[in-house]
Structure 1
Amino acid sequence: MTIQILTGDCRAMMQTLDAESVQCCVTSPPYFNLRDYGVDGQIGLEPTPEAFVAALVEVFREVRRVLRPDGTVWLNLGDSYVTNPGNGRSSDERAGLGNGGGRPHRSAADKSGCGLKPKDLLMIPARVALALQADGWWLRSDTIWHKPNPMPESVTDRPTSAHEHIFLLAKSERYFYDADAIREAESVPDWDDGSRVFGGVNKHGANAQHGDRTTGRRATSRKRGLPPRHAQYPESSDQSGLDAVPRGVGRNARNVWTIPTKPFPEAHFATFPPELAERCIKAGSKTGDTVLDPFGGAGTTGLVADRLGRHAVLCELNPDYVALAERRIRRDAPLLADTRVTA
């Protein structure tokens, strides 16, 4: 497969792409006011949330131009807090949160100037989603990425954050979405003996919600997590549900995905988990399609696209990350990936 990495501001780099040349966009932009990547023109250090939202709306207008009419966007965003005036950093910045490398950003500005108070949650994902919806995108889903291993936080006056948002946006009312590709293994209660039928009553005449009241028997005839007629398939070792069922079997994917973060040592920051990108790419594209990531980072979207038999176009502003992504993709598939870097 061909993995192309464009070096520069994604708004300019995407202008070099043909209209309607991309099937799916999977990306995670820099989060607002959390990291300084040390590159001029970076998105994420705007003076206000409104300016940050406006910058992303501009990016995704260009994404919409290059996206096929039936294409989709899978947008991962985390939140941030109003800066504390005393030290120029939010509590989450001190905790080292964020989706990229660079230094924690120390803003001289108190973000309470945008009408919010110190320590307020900014609701950045919601602001961006609503702005994109108003700009013409169909907002189809807000999936919660639940992190079972969240970054520790030193806060004592609120719960530790253990989730982020993944918005599914469509260019048109009707779009490509492969539900079968990301079906989940069905969850089977311990009491179920595999004899349930529609209507809530099993073959013994007992209410299916309470099991067999005559015998009190517990489920032993099939594996948990698998439909009865496909119990011979092994369960997924990573418990993700994606590999636990054959294509077309199981339940429709839910909108809460439990996926652990997986640090990439060479990057020295929390990268987009490959499993997360895999779900989005499988649902939003077919073999041979092209996947776009305007914020390429460490190249996770390109890496996974190549594994799944898709082409990819990545944009990245920081030349160091471009080199990192190229090495990572080549190392993952040295004989298969045709990786090209364009300055």
Structure 2
Amino acid sequence: MDAWLDRVFCEDALAGMARIPDGSIDLLIADPPYGLGKDYGNDSDKLDADAYLRWTEQWIDAALPKLKPAASLYIFLTWRYSPEIFVMLKKRMTMINEIIWDRRVPSMGGSTRRFSSVHDTIGFFARAKDYHFDLDAVRIPYDAETKKARSRSIFVGAKWLEVGYNPKDVWSVSRLHREHRERADHPTQKPLEIVERMIKASCPPGGVVFDPFMGSGTSAVAARRCGRHWVGFELNPAYCRLIDQRLAELDTATEEAEAE
């Protein structure tokens, strides 16, 4: 196995990206700092708007050569910068979807001078027309009531009715509140459900997922759960230890399940 696979490098992605061979990545999942001044244990999210966009263009140009011809990219963004970054990416790739992640935020409090923001924006881009996409791996099963309502002869044996429907471009998945069983000590941790959907749809079995900003390590955990390889970078040593801990816990749980 290549020495760079299934590892998180505790360093800046721009400094370390040369470790990854060009043309080796099947799927890039990026959850970069949003430019909102979040505390990640460093100053990585404290750039002004112009500097933030220059930095974004810099890491995108460094990362894209790492992708295989049929590779895809998903990027988590805030509405504040998604228009500029989408334009940036559309000059380099083909945009497939804008996905809205509805975080299921309770209707409490919020601003009195604008509508409350309760979503993240996700861009889905591909390098080529023949990009990998396995729809069957992420279909959502129809419930029994829906199947019963489609009992006429024209629906009998219909594949789509048996395997489920295509997820829409609005993904309603609860954010990880403090009591959530997945929750780790990270301010912007993403749910496994979302990241696993990306991986199952856009990374072939045994393929490689690359995350330049690993954070709590959800992409690594999701990749391992889905039978894919992974590689990533993380600046904060505390988060690097957290990633190792989450992977070790996953391995322990897997071994215990197999022993039963």
Aligned to 2:64: 64
> 1:265, 1:141 → 2: CA distance?
28
* 1:300 is the counterpart of 2:214: no
Cα deviation, residue 191, structure 1: 9.9
Look up the equivalent residue of 1:132 and give its one-letter code.
L
In the TM superposition, 1:1-343 aligns within 5 A as 3-39=6-42, 42=44, 44-48=45-49, 50-79=50-79, 123-134=80-91, 136-149=92-105, 153-186=109-142, 192=149, 194-195=151-152, 197=154, 229=157, 249-263=163-177, 264-334=182-252
Q: 2:121, 2:42 → 1: CA distance? A: 26
Structure 2: distance between partners of 1:21 and 1:300: 21
1:55 maps to amino acid:
W
* Mapped partners of 1:326, 1:56: distance in 2: 27
Change (3 A) 1:255 1:335: closer
SS of the residue 2:75 aligns to: strand
- Give RMSD over aligned pairs: 2.8
Partners of 2:117 and 2:47 lie apart in 1 by: 23
Shift of 1:183: 1.6
Q: What TM-score do you get using the length of structure 1 for normalisation? A: 0.65
Partner letter of residue 54 of structure 2? A
Paired residues in the alignment total 246
Q: Deviations over 1:9-53 (max 9, x none)?
A: 11121111111111001121111133133425x2x32222x3212
| 1:159–1:26 Cα change, 3 Å | same
Report the residue type matching 2:6 in the other structure.
I
Contact persistence 1:178–1:282 (CA under 8 A): yes
Unaligned 5+ segments in structure 1 are 80-122, 198-226, 231-244, 338-343
Q: Deviations over 1:263-309 (max 9, x none)?
A: 45441524111000000000111221110110100000000100111
**2: CA distance, partners of 1:54 / 1:153:** 34
Task: Mark the runs of 5 or more structure 2 residues left unpaired by the alignment.
Answer: 256-260
Report if aligned partners of 2:132, 2:204 keep a CA contact under 8 Å in 1: no
Bigger proportion of residues as helix: 2
- Partners of 1:286 and 1:190 lie apart in 2 by 30
Same amino acid, percent of matched pairs:
27
2:106 & 2:90 partners in 1: Cα distance? 29
| More divergent stretch after superposition (301-310 vs 12-21) | 12-21
Deviations 1:98-145 (A, max 9, x none): xxxxxxxxxxxxxxxxxxxxxxxxx311211111112x1111110111
SS at match of 1:128: helix
Distance in 2 (CA, whole Å) between partners of 1:73 and 1:261 is: 22
Larger radius of gyration: 1
For 2:247 and 2:233, the matched residues in 1 are separated by: 14
Q: Structure 2-normalised TM-score?
A: 0.84
**Structure 1 pair 309–265 and aligned structure 2 pair: CA distance change class (3 A):** closer
Change (3 A) 1:38 1:181: same
- Cα offset, 1:193, TM superposition: 5.6
Q: 1:298, 1:316 → 2: CA distance? A: 9
Deviations 1:209-251 (A, max 9, x none): xxxxxxxxxxxxxxxxxx8659xxxxxxxxxxxxxx87xx222
Deviation of residue 54 (structure 1)?
A: 2.2
1:158-199 C-alpha deviation (Å, 9 max, x unpaired): 2222211111111223311111111223477699462275xx
Question: CA 1:125–1:151 in structure 2 vs 1: closer, same or farther (change >3 Å)?
Answer: farther
Q: Supply the distance in 2 between the matched residues of 1:272 and 1:29 (Cα, whole angstroms).
A: 12
Q: 1:191 to 1:274 in 2, by over 3 A?
A: closer
